[in-house]
Amino acid sequence: MTQDDEAANEFPMSLELPSRPRRNRRTPAIRSMVRETQLEIGQLIYPLFLHADQEDTPIAAMPGQTRWSVKGLVKEVKRVSKLGIDKIVIFPKIDESLKTENGDEAMNPEGLIPEAIQRIKDACPDTCVITDIALDPYNSDGHDGIVSEEGEILNDITVAVLCEQALAHAAAGADIVAPSDMMDGRVGQIRAALDEDGYTDVSIMAYTAKYASAFYGPFRGALDSAPKANAYKPVPKDKRTYQMDPANVREALRELELDEAEGADIVMVKPAGPYLDVIRTLRENTTLPVAAYHVSGEYLMIKSAAAAGWLDERAAVLEMLLGIRRAGADVILTYFAPQVAEWLSDR
């Protein structure tokens, strides 16, 4: 008996298996036919940073990202629109001289964001412009809400300012306002303010489950919006009294119920990657579109690992975003949006 005969006797050449899952993985054509989740360009929102300076400035903490001038921002929006990216969200870095404890500059109808909205709409009228509604870029204390003399984040007074901020953005031409502040009741109050002033077509994308996450560091550096110590009053060093506890998921259902009742058009989970279970929970409990924010810390981890040669950037990004989609996100905010658009076009 030869060695091959012995091997054939020891290891049967064919198993009697009625079901072989590998048959559905055999070729690219078959794999594409049975693929359950799709990642498409139209599901991406591109976050962009803006400042009042005349020069475009690279962001050290976020390689590949830029703090744009208004002119540079418009040019970038034009560029990515050619890639199929037709949804952007803009975040401002406000000059220190304009920051106050009440975040007054957020309500300025001639401020940096209203100017940028108008310029973008003039150049790219079909681009969906989304704006951040929160006070941290404008607040000298670095919080999303107004800080009292005792160090408390004042919910109801803050909401009144957020309504004025939303109205200024709507008047400038924003398509969607996105309150990221996590104040109680702000979605309903913003909806009422918009409707009362005739902006019934302006949508609200609510940051429904925004967690007090460690993954926001590079973003806060890009905007200089982290909490700051104040010699005249205690300022909370973190945002845990209003952003959600990372340990909780049932609480997200409570926030979801409120945002739906108050008139949200889209609900969001932030961050995305560490909170896939929360995305799935919201997806299973609402008929509204679910967005997920692939945040700056997640971006930087991939960028750093790829720069060191430990990850294939393209493969890692596409796998991560596909996982976010598979968890149930209809929309993904990601700094990788232009790269992903190019990669998807090459498929």
Are 46 and 80 in contact by the 8 Å Cβ rule? The answer is yes
Tell which phi-psi region holds residue 151, choosing left (phi > 0), alpha (psi between -120 and 50) or beta.
left
For residue 178, what are the β-bridge partners? 132
Q: Is 75 annotated in the active site?
A: no
Token pair for 183: 């104040």
The burial of 289, by beta-carbon neighbours within 10 Å (0-12 exposed, 13-18 middle, 19 or more buried), is given as middle
Are 249 and 164 in contact by the 8 Å Cβ rule? The answer is no
Please confirm whether the linkage preceding 137 is cis (ω < 30° from 0): no
- Measured between its terminal Cα atoms, the distance across the chain in Å is 51
Catalytic entry in 87, 93, 99, 210: 210
Residue 50: C-alpha distances to residues 133, 197, 263 (Å): 15, 27, 29
Catalytic entry in 87, 99, 121, 270: 270
Q: For helices 112-123 and 155-172, what crossing angle results, to 10°?
A: 30
For residue 332, what are the β-bridge partners? 44, 292
Q: What dihedral angle (degrees, nearest 10) is formed by the CA atoms of 180, 183, 189, 195?
A: 0
Token pair for 56: 């475009």
Are 116 and 110 in contact by the 8 Å Cβ rule? The answer is no
Residue 155: C-alpha distances to residues 108, 158, 166, 200, 242 (Å): 21, 5, 16, 25, 9
3-class DSSP state of 122: helix
Q: Is 78 annotated in the active site?
A: no
Closest by CA position to 317, among listed 296, 295, 297, 339:
339
DSSP string, 309-322: TSS-HHHHHHHHHH
The catalytic residues are 210, 270
